[in-house]
A and B are shown apart, each in its own frame.
Chain A
């Protein structure tokens, strides 16, 4: 009896976590498992999915050169966006580290604000800039530099530019976090030992910011993979990516195929995540082996 009371007394905190846990199991883990389950079935005309367990949906995707092409394009875009965001974001993060805390907080607020604006609005902004009747064409036309509007929209480049500007704040914040944890003393120690600013950066600051680089690259890449609306609005029919195919597939309501495609996307996300974490090995910098 006493044992029971003691057990309850020390374990009562678990009651706290039960509601959110059940919620997540019911509306996150459960549905995902169900989706996977469905992807392993054959297609059915009458029901949502057939009765046979099979890998044919995945085999179809693996063997279709169209999917290969789209996946290659998706990965290229992802690499481009994350790479560019790193190149542009790093200097910004560096300059923010050296700012006074109040200035930095202000800039942080300015950077967080666009992240809360819906992506559809931010994509619309680029339509307003690059569209046939957008700012660029209007200005160039009014000034007389061009006769007909430039087709700036609906290409892979447009998509990359759009995604880059949408996701750049994420990269900057990840980098900033990492750079802020770099002890000033370490940089000063390097300088005391004779390393100039460039060498200090290269040998001390940069390596120590690797966790931030890794998490930034990863976050931006993953968000690129999932950015349907931006891709659709800025890329149109010519620049579909894997996420567009997932959407189209779901809209046909041929569930086993759509589910398989969705999991291919997920698998790619997981693969990228594992590669990134293993490759850059942020733990080593944090001193955990």
Chain B
């Protein structure tokens, strides 16, 4: 078995982790390139936190291998692995001042005092907490505590920074501020970061790459745009935003595109292996990629409007399609007269070209 490519800071190869009869992580393979901000995204119980803890060394894999900077670390205990972690509840040492908290990792690495003090000052400045050196954690607000936790984690300059839903206990506004700060910090020091969250918006905001997890496996990994525009499975499509799903039939192929019949209309999807003429196919389209038109406008799927929700910047339309299935359409309120449909109206739904994608079951 060859060692993995050195450019990947963290590699998990065919890792399985079972707790008794519960399999938390199932045959997972993951390569995290250097300097990337990766989010592990998924519902609770999907195995994202377990995966993080496997990288940290707080859990040992039942099967498979974990590599950090090319070195197999299965047998290396957590305190000897080169990482640091930011915890959801901050985990600041209550009996130590901010300075001592931040300096702890440096003390463990036997960094001499002068250098320690300089680096602590630097880290605190980076998180905008200069002047808080002698405070105790209980004297700090939630946001300040989180920043101390961050400073403590980055001051040791680890290979990889692990974050376990660190912004979960902050209120919305603070969370959004911290997201921006966190991202800027990560870019500034160029560290590889693995971020666990169940909030898809947070994942999309922060990450270079997102790995969507479900039932202990990675359903799909890619850039935020890839995941949103081209979700590979039902699960990913529904976890990241909303989709309208249709059962269609492939009727032909033409220049790298396949023609699919959905009810009375036809759409084009990018062709991929496995799409055979005459065969069934599941396709989906995002709600903002559908345009509503007059019921007699040709080329659109006929539907009847059931429910309208006005949200200020957008209007959400809930419709009933020709076969009884439900449709969701989001429309930007570009002008005050945009989309003044009322429930009961008949409309036609036009999909934007090249916006329909194929779904694999899962």
Contact = CB atoms under 8 A, between A and B. Distances in A.
- The reply, when asked whether chain A contacts chain B directly with Cβ atoms under 8 A, is yes
Chain B interface, >50% SS class: loop
Contacts, number: 8
A52 interface: no
Interface of B: 60, 74-75, 77
A9 interface: yes
8 contacts: A2-B74, A2-B75, A5-B75, A6-B60, A6-B75, A9-B60, A9-B77, A10-B60
A48 B75 CA distance: 56
Interface of A: 2, 5-6, 9-10
A5 B74 CA distance: 11
Given A9-B60, A9-B77, A10-B60, 5 more contacts: A2-B74, A2-B75, A5-B75, A6-B60, A6-B75
A243 B77 CA distance: 55
Contacts of B74: 2
B38 to A, nearest CB: 27
Contacts of A9: 60, 77
Contacts of A2: 74-75
B122 to A, nearest CB: 36
Nearest to B74: A2
Nearest to A1: B75
B333 to A, nearest CB: 46
Which 6 A-B pairs have CB atoms at the shortest separation, nearest pair first?
A5-B75, A6-B60, A2-B75, A9-B77, A9-B60, A2-B74
Contacts of A6: 60, 75
A49 B231 CA distance: 83
A171 B360 CA distance: 66
A196 B318 CA distance: 52
Nearest to A6: B60
A179 to B, nearest CB: 32
A2 B77 CA distance: 13
Contacts of A10: 60
Nearest to A5: B75
A6 B57 CA distance: 12
Contacts of B77: 9
B39 to A, nearest CB: 30
Contacts of A5: 75
B81 to A, nearest CB: 14
A5 B75 CA distance: 8
Nearest to A2: B75
A2 B75 CA distance: 7
A5 B77 CA distance: 11
A6 to B, nearest CB: 6
Contacts of B60: 6, 9-10
